[in-house]
Every structure is written in C-alpha cells, then in structure tokens.
Amino acid sequence: MNTINVSGAGLSFGVLAAALILLLGIWRKRRDLGTRGMWGTLGMLALTSLGEALLVSTGFTGRFMLAGRGFVGLAFLSLLSLALAFLPLYVAANWVEVILRQTRPSAEP
C-alpha cells in the first residue's frame, strides 16, 4: 500500500514546501503572508497525515478487504493515499500565487 504521506517523500516535500513559502514571504518583504502560508501548508500536511493514518488503519482497510474487493479496494486506497499526499503541495502553490500577487510591483507612470 502507498503510504507516501505518513512516512516518506510526501511528508518531506510538505515540510520543504512550507519552509520555502516562509522564505518567499520573507524575501518579498511580507513575512506575515509567508508565515500564514507556512502554517496553512503544515496544517494541511497534518490533516492529510491524519487522513492517511485513518485510511491505512486496520479497521478501515479490513472492511474493504472483507467486502470482497481485495485488489480493487487496495488500488483505490493507494490512489486516494497518493492524492492526499499532493494536497499540501497544492496549498503551498496557492500561497505562492497569493504572495506574488500581493507583492507585485505597481506600475507607476
């Protein structure tokens, strides 16, 4: 089963993305936006890690396996796990857009 978010690359990329959002905010002189973006990314990482832990817990996967969907259930859980791993990166990309939009130099005549 794909547990990329609980332990592995998903967790590492999420933490790295949060740090880069903070650095972007500091670099663009909007530390407040960088801090909010960092906490938003880390919060989504925590939520998806919790969701991932619930998905791979024996109680939830046991119901899928007992329902006679062995391979299909396992494939579904793996794909759902992979999708959850990308949510923190999506939030981080959204914060990049917010920071860049808020710090865009205004065109003065």
26 φ/ψ angles, rounded to the nearest 5 degrees? -70, -40
Domain edges within the chain: 9-102
The 10 Å Cβ neighbour count of residue 24 is 20
pLDDT tens-digit map of 5-64: 455 677 888 899 999 999 999 999 999 999 999 999 999 999 988 877 776 675 555 555
pTM of structure: 0.76
